[in-house]
Amino acid sequence: MSVSVPRLADLSHFDASGQASMVDVGDKAVTRREAVASGHIRMQPSTRALIAQGNAAKGDVLGIARLAGIMAAKRTSELIPLCHPIALSKVAIDWSWQGEDAIACRATVRCEGRTGVEMEALTAVQIALLTVYDMVKAVDRAMSIHEVRLLEKSGGRSGSWSAPPLEG
């Protein structure tokens, strides 16, 4: 498998001299933009059961993690230096059980704007999963976060995109 190396001119966050710069989106059309990202956290089956039964010492783990993910999406531009502040119209965090030892997180983010919301969706997933870790780390420090990735995006000049299925 060959990997193509992007040219500096192909990277939107660098100017002609190679300096980091914020992309000027002022001339872009305002369109509906949406991004969906996902990831999951693996843990001991007993930890997953503790969360599912609502018996964690710190309270409603997934409810609090949902709020953390929503808050994170709204503050992405404060965390990632070249992201634009975006007025989001939707942030949804959904959870699903995966087997006996994992919980999956899916974030859907939407706006009417001049730039996409991929980073907001990815940030929401990461922070939601980190919050799950924080809430139950006292009983399971070996938890691990996996496969955080963009699943799809739509809107803007580049149109729609969907991730290929994961191998394996």
Residues carrying an active site annotation = 134
Whether 163 and 153 have beta carbons less than 8 Å apart is answered as no
- Please check whether residue 159 is in contact with residue 153, taking contact to mean a CB–CB distance below 8 angstroms: no
Cβ contact 105:129 at 8 Å: yes
Q: At a CB cut-off of 8 Å and minimum separation 6, what does 152 contact?
A: 34, 35, 36, 160, 161, 162, 163
